[in-house]
Chain A
């Protein structure tokens, strides 16, 4: 047996209704029994007190005159009242004058002497002592004893009937409430079902059918409205999520495209970079202020500098003072004017000069702005034809790389005697 508060709602409801109606019927039945009992005892009391008074009045003379025969005759009339079990008339001094006993009643059951006037219920009997008086004087006493067991039986029957009524009413109330509770519990259970559906399936499109009491209808409508709001919000969220996913997807694809493009560009750039770096020409780049921004391996080897030592330094670092005057000044404007070619001397880190054949140009970006100057040189080969105007040196690798781009201040300064000779030759040429 489950405890009441663990029962389902509809059982609780039926239970509450049954208990309430049972209580009401039970109280009504108790009240009815109580009233019936009171009324019955009151009736018996009134009835037999009246009888006692009538008898007392009728026996005044007999008692006054001590006429036992007449007194006996008066009492004999009690035979018409079967409830009266015994009666006795006493004279004023308490002597028994006449006695009445219903058939089967023991002689000893009648009191030998009278008590004070009054009445009382004794067990299943009602006992009266009534004063017999005449002309303002007490002349004797009447005793009357009545059997009240019929009354007890009547009350027992009434209690039994009311108990049956109570049981029947309770059973009927249980049956009725078991059916009728659906009026109230139905809408609540429906709301509960919808709540479960929503919770389990995340389905906000379900709705409660409003029904039952006014408050339940209001609850159902409010719940539906809440569901509708949640559904709208949910839809908006879903839409937003879908849009976001789409955007992310698009962005991702875009990024992938960009990455692919960039990778291509990087690959090309890397190739170019490697090409420049790997070139045996002496290649260097300066910014527009003549400061080194790049020098390739061949250049560094040729000049004896490391990358760190040269980057950011001014171009004049590698200039040789032995170049003929004017050469260097001419290179800058020529470069900006489309490029400069020629031979001149440059100085290594250890202070020795060597001749290079140099070609310069301006590095321009996509918009055509000058972002730097490029110089490509090779070590002027000693064995090469001195008469050549352009400085192109085959020579031994490692010696002739010479970056002499940049603005003009680049002069050919061949190192050593042979170079000098050649420079002279150039100059001469």
Chain B
């Protein structure tokens, strides 16, 4: 489905990619879908930049910010190139990949590509209470409990934020980020408490 929308990626998305230093895809519309993941990679980095983790969590304490790809990796080298040399909150950003098994509990950002397998969904549910920013590209990913869901709408790549999920994970998303997002599921007071 994401591929189906690949041709609709807009110049805005291109601009985003460029603004993040991802020069490799400039004017590279010769191949359909070649711009979708560079844009999404840039978004992942920006999410990391506009998010604060709870101060007592290992996610906040470690010297690096890790962006983990859970399951299938649709980025290839694009994500590594996007992140290379960049920082978030003064910390180096690194990319990790987990294809099943243990480990993602210590990630700052977890990306789940589409389609999600049942095992992945379970893993995600297990991470729901951890201070981890979960990002997916499947429809209604945020509505189903993820923190941010990427949505390709016409010429734009938009994103939805589930504030209740963010609160449960004790993540502080920048109001500037929220200003650009479609917010769903505003949290109840009691829900924000761990």
Contact = CB atoms under 8 A, between A and B. Distances in A.
A64 B17 CA distance: 10
B180 A65 contact: yes
A68 B19 CA distance: 12
Lowest 9 CB-CB distances: which A-B pairs, in order? A66-B16, A61-B176, A91-B19, A66-B15, A92-B19, A93-B18, A135-B49, A67-B180, A70-B180
B15 A137 contact: no
Given A70-B179, A135-B89, A63 B49 contact: no
Interface string B87-102: 1111000000000000
Interface residues of A, number: 21
A66 B16 CA distance: 4
B50 interface: yes
A91 B180 CA distance: 16
Contacts of B187: none
Contact of A136 (B12, B18, B90): B90
A93 B177 CA distance: 21
A64 to B, nearest CB: 5
B86 interface: yes
Contact of A91 (B18, B49, B87, B90): B18
B174 interface: yes
A238 B42 CA distance: 123
Contacts of A139: 19
B57 interface: no
Contacts of B89: 135
Given A61-B180, A65-B46, A70-B179, A136 B87 contact: yes
A63 B18 CA distance: 11
Given A61-B180, A62-B180, A92-B21, A68 B15 contact: yes
Interface residues of B, number: 25
Contacts of A140: 19
A93 B86 CA distance: 16
A93 B27 CA distance: 14
A136 B46 CA distance: 13
Given A70-B179, A134-B49, A135-B89, A65 B43 contact: yes
A76 to B, nearest CB: 14
Interface string B33-61: 00000000011001001100000000000
Interface in A67-111: 67-68, 70, 91-93, 95, 97
A97 B10 CA distance: 13
Given A65-B46, A134-B49, A135-B88, A60 B176 contact: yes
A95 B20 CA distance: 12
Contacts of B17: 66
A67 B15 CA distance: 9
Interface of B: 12-13, 15-21, 23, 42-43, 46, 49-50, 86-90, 174, 176-177, 179-180
A134 B176 CA distance: 11
A97 B13 CA distance: 11
A67 B157 CA distance: 9
A61 B13 contact: no
Nearest to A67: B180
Contacts of B15: 66, 68, 91, 95, 97
B133 to A, nearest CB: 15
Nearest to A62: B180
A64 B49 contact: yes
Contacts of A70: 179-180
Contacts of A65: 16, 43, 46, 177, 180
Interface string A135-179: 111011000000000000000000000000000000000000000
Contacts of B19: 63-64, 66, 91-93, 95, 97, 139-140
Contacts of B174: 61
Given A64-B46, A65-B177, 16 more contacts: A63-B19, A64-B20, A65-B16, A66-B15, A66-B19, A66-B42, A68-B12, A92-B21, A93-B18, A93-B19, A95-B19, A135-B88, A136-B90, A137-B86, A139-B19, A140-B19
A60 to B, nearest CB: 6
A92 B18 CA distance: 7
Nearest to A138: B19
Contacts of A63: 19
A136 B92 CA distance: 12
16 contacts: A64-B46, A64-B50, A65-B16, A65-B177, A66-B12, A70-B179, A92-B20, A92-B21, A93-B19, A95-B15, A97-B15, A135-B88, A135-B90, A136-B90, A137-B86, A137-B87
Contacts of B87: 135-137
Nearest to B15: A66
A97 B18 CA distance: 11
Nearest to B159: A65
A108 to B, nearest CB: 21
A338 B192 CA distance: 187
B12 A61 contact: no
Contacts of A68: 12, 15
Contacts of B20: 64, 92
Contacts of B21: 92-93
Contacts of B180: 61-62, 65, 67, 70
Nearest to B90: A136
A102 B188 CA distance: 43
A95 B43 CA distance: 18
A121 to B, nearest CB: 30
Contact of B179 (A61, A95, A137): A61
Contacts of A62: 179-180
Contacts of A64: 19-20, 46, 49-50
